[in-house]
Structure 1
Amino acid sequence: MKILLVSANREHSPYPVFPIGLSYLAAPLATAGHELAVLDLCFEQKPETALEERLASFSPALVVVSLRNIDNVTWPGCRSYLAGVREVVSVCRRTARVVVGGSGFSLMPREILAYVDADYGVVGEGEEVLPRLVELIGQGACPSGLPGVLARGADAFQPALPVERIATPDRNLFDVARYQRQGGMANVQTKRGCPFACIYCTYPLLEGRRMRLRPILDIIAEVRALVEDHGVSYIYFVDDIFNYPTEFAEQLCRAMAAERLAINWSAFINPAFMPPGLLDVMLAAGCDAVEYGTESGSPVMLKNLGKAFTVADVREGSRLCRERQVDFAHYILFGGPGETRETILESFSLMDELEPTAIIAMTGIRIFPGTPLHRTALAEGVIDTTTNLLEPVFYISSAVRDELTELVTSEAIKRKNWVVPGLEVNISDAMLEALRMFPVKGPLWKLMKRLGRSRIRPL
């Protein structure tokens, strides 16, 4: 069967992200004997025209649309992507059947399938179930009851089983080099599953709580191919937490160092699992930046947010980075349950003490079904069972709801290493375009030390 794979993501802020989820589907579909083509809408100036042209030239019988995110999870400057996806599906259904999947779709599959009006949806990991769905479609058989598949007009589906052996994504049909040029990095996944309990996080919903580790030799081969076949010089490990399990992270880093690949990289780190020896091995393997998902500098808020570390862990992780002169950033979430003016100022105070390269702060926390935050929002009356969560809805503590934006803006603008996307403190689309003029690979926040005074609407 001729199958067109479409990446619906068009977001470029803070940088365009390679459609790794779709690339994981390419290999099993090709192995099953299907003829594939790819259309990545991220760089298309006229997406609908590009789509119509590809449909006409390739004439697929089936189109698989991957939805990475449903919005930019940023308040108050929120953008929903679903209307654009619905347009894509509408164009494709004129000539082909359409399957929608991806992490964004799996957050609210029934609601999204109904909204975009596709034929089928794949919920969760699709590497194993999608080829089976395609086979049934080709046979004219009904896929009802196939785990992980939701049919148009249906309300129920069976959960898909998690993929036990995570294979290597097939990037050969994609323009990897363009993401390296315009995004500054490629992305690699080393594991799936999250055993932690952050109240807002969707990783346990999407990937399960049981961790599944990729074979280290497979990861090394993937990184080598990115360097040698695609000219990649920087990668970002997209695991929710790179350094857990600690032993696995250390083994991977030692293997990367032994290969002596011409690569630098960064990743998200949990400060509770950062022994000095691990950071040293990471640096030897090419790591040049560390991102901590800290979320708050207040002990009360760390507990309220379900974080698995303490302020002491945050201090120690920061100290290790400063001693080794490696760039590091802390991510902060303001407005969660129990947030007050005092806890917000605690976060600013701790960041002043730690002096990271950058602090990236978000105001308000996007509410997704199935998370503990969703249950809290229902109990507090922030939302009710009829609230449409396809549109971005954010939790903001009642104690700071009226002053959150003013307080965070007034404090962040005093400090040149703070970035607040929703409030446009030290960030805007124009600034991001300008920063990419620098010969930098990796996270843009590494350039914060080159900036002068803080700005609300820079450049």
Structure 2
Amino acid sequence: MNVLLVSVNREHAPYPVFPLGLACLAGPLRAAGHRLSVLDLCFAADPEEATRQALAEFSPDVVVLSLRNIDNVTYPGSRSYLSGVRDVVAICRERAAVVVGGSGFSLMPREVLAYLGADYGVVGEGEDVLPRLLARIAAGEGGDGLPGVVARENAGFLPPHPVQAIGTPLRGLFQVERYHREGGMANIQTKRGCPFSCIYCTYPLLEGERMRLRPVADIIAEIGDLVDVHGVSYLYFVDDIFNYPLEFALELCRAMSAARLPVAWSAFINPDFLPPQLLDAMLAAGCDALEFGTDSGSPVMLRNLRKSFGIEKVREASRLCREAGVDFAHYILFGGPGETPATIAESFALMDEVAPTAVIAMTGIRIFPGTAIYRQALADGLITPETDLLRPAFYIAPTIADTLCELVREEALKRTNWVVPGLEITANDAMLEALRHFAGPGPLWKMLKLLGRRRGSVPSPWSHSPS
């Protein structure tokens, strides 16, 4: 069959993100004998017209549409993407059957399928089950009995089966060079699954709790291909936690060093698993920035968020980075269960103490079904079982719901290394886009140390709202 792969993600803040999920599907679909074409709407000036043109030129039998996010998970500046996706689905259904998948779809499959009006949906990882579904569609049959497949006429579905062997994404159909140029990096995945229990996290729901590791040799070969074929000079490891399991991270870093790959990179790091020997191995392998999923600087909040570490680990990991002279950022989530003005002050104080290159903070925690924060929100009366969570809903501790944003705004504005996207502090869409044209490859937050600005003297270009 002719299969049109459509990436509907149009978000560019802080970076346009390469559609890795679709690239992982392309290999199994091609191996099954399907003819493939790609429509990437990330850079389309008119997505509806681009969709019509792709349908006319390729005449697909099936359209496979990947939904990375349903909204920007940012409070209070939240925006949903679903209405635009629904318009694309309606155009596609005039010409072909439509199958929807991706992480955004998988979080609320019944609700998203109904809203979009697509024919089928694939929950979770699709490499194994999607070729089977397409064979059923070609034979005029439905998807009943296939794990993780939900159909328009039948909202029930069997639990998805995790993929056992994670393959190498087929990137040749996609605009790798443009994503690298405009996003400053190429993304790569080394494992799936998350055994941790952070109360807001959707990774265990999407990928399961059991970790599945890719062969290191496959990862090295993929990096080599990105460098040699696509001219990539900077990588971002999209793993939920790069440095766990520790032994695997060490093996990968040593293999990268041995391969002498001319590429720099960054990754998301758990402060709990960063002994000096791993940091040394990471730096030797080309790592030039670390992003810590710290969430809070309050001991109480770290326990409430069910983090695997305490503040001493945050201090230790930060000290190692400072001594090594490597840029690092801490990500903070404000507003979780038990948050108070005192715990907020503790987070600001700890960040002042550990002195990262940047602090990226979010106010409020997006509520998704199946997470512990969802159950907490029900218990606290913030939502009900009937709440439509396709509309962005956020957990904010009831005692500070009316004051959280102002508390964070007041303190963040006193500091030059804080970025609060929801409050447009030291970041807005227009400035991020402009910065990318002047910045080198890598995370934009690294530029905070180069700006040398003082609030209240020279007006900061970040201080202006994009619209």
Normalised TM-score (structure 1):
0.99
| Alignment partner of 1:151 is 2:154 | no
Match of 1:82 in 2: 82
Which sits farther off after the overlay, 55-64 or 134-143?
Answer: 134-143
Q: Report the CA distance between 1:453 and its aligned residue.
A: 2.5
Please say which of residues 174-183 and 139-148 is displaced more in the overlay. 139-148
For the 8 Å contact 1:328–1:358, the answer to whether it is kept is yes
Partner of 1:206: 206
Task: Output the CA distance in 2 between the equivalents of 1:102 and 1:141.
Answer: 23
Task: Select between 154-163 and 446-455 the one with higher mean Cα deviation.
Answer: 446-455
The offset of 1:431, in angstroms, is: 1.1
Q: Which residue of 1 aligns with 2:388?
A: 388
Whole-angstrom distance in 2 between the partners of 1:378 and 1:185: 39
Decide whether the 8 Å contact of 1:114 with 1:153 is kept in 2: no
After TM superposition, the structure 1 = structure 2 runs for residues 1-150 of structure 1, keeping only pairs within 5 Å, are 1-150=1-150
Partner SS for 2:38:
strand
Output aligned runs, 1:42-441, within 5 Å: 42-441=42-441
Q: In 1, are the aligned partners of 2:24 and 2:127 still within 8 Å (CA)?
A: yes
1:453 matched to 2:454? The reply is yes
3-state secondary structure, aligned to 1:157: coil
Q: Are the aligned partners of 2:250 and 2:278 in contact in 1 as well (CA < 8 Å)?
A: yes
Indicate conservation of the 8 Å contact 2:358/2:418, yes or no: yes
Q: Within 1, Cα distance between the matches of 2:419 and 2:180? A: 23
Task: Give how far 1:118 is off.
Answer: 0.2
Q: What residue identity is the alignment partner of 2:19?
A: P
Moved over 6 A (4+): none
Q: How many Å separate the matches in 2 of 1:424 and 1:453?
A: 17
Compare 145-154 and 203-212 and name the one that shifted more: 145-154
Deviations 1:43-63 (Å, cap 9, x if unpaired)?
001111111001001000000
* Deviation string, structure 1 residues 303-349 (Cα, Å, up to 9, x no partner): 00010011000000000000000000000000000000000000000
SS in 2 for 1:140: coil
CA contact (8 A) 2:64 2:100 kept: yes
Contact 1:268 1:291 in 2 (8 A): yes
Q: CA offsets per residue over residues 274-314 of structure 1, 9 Å max, x none?
A: 00000000000000000000000000000000100110000
In 2, Cα distance between the equivalents of 1:73 and 1:128? Answer: 29
* Structure 1 residue identity aligned to 2:200: Y
Distance 1:59 1:453 in 2: 56
The more displaced of 140-149 and 104-113 is 140-149
Q: Secondary structure at the match of 1:399?
A: helix
Structure 1 CA distance for aligned equivalents of residues 431 and 111 of structure 2: 35
Counterpart amino acid of residue 123 in structure 1: V
When the two chains are superposed, the root-mean-square deviation of aligned CA atoms in Å is 0.9
2:438 is paired with a residue whose SS is coil
Residue ranges of structure 2 left out of the alignment (5+ in a row) = none
Amino acid at match of 1:402: D
SS at 1:92 equivalent = helix
SS of equivalent residue, structure 2 residue 178: helix
Amino acid at match of 2:294: T
The Cα of 1:458 is off from its aligned counterpart by 4.2
Instruction: Tell me how far apart the structure 2 counterparts of residues 153 and 374 of structure 1 sit (CA, whole Å).
Output: 28
Contact residue 105 and residue 112 of structure 2 kept, 8 A: yes
- TM-score normalised by L of structure 2: 0.97
Are 2:70 and 2:81, in contact at CA under 8 Å, matched by a contact in 1?
Answer: yes
Determine the C-alpha separation between the residues in 2 that align with 1:143 and 1:411.
Answer: 53
**2:431 is aligned with what amino acid?**
M
Unaligned 5+ segments in structure 1 are none
Letter in 2 for 1:457: S
In the alignment of these two chains, the number of paired residues is 459
Please state how far the C-alpha of 1:457 moved relative to its aligned partner. 2.1
- Residue identity opposite 2:120 in structure 1: Y
Given that residues 182 and 437 in structure 2 are in contact (C-alpha distance below 8 angstroms), is that contact kept between their aligned partners in structure 1? no
Taking the aligned partners of 2:142 and 2:445, their CA distance within structure 1 comes to: 49
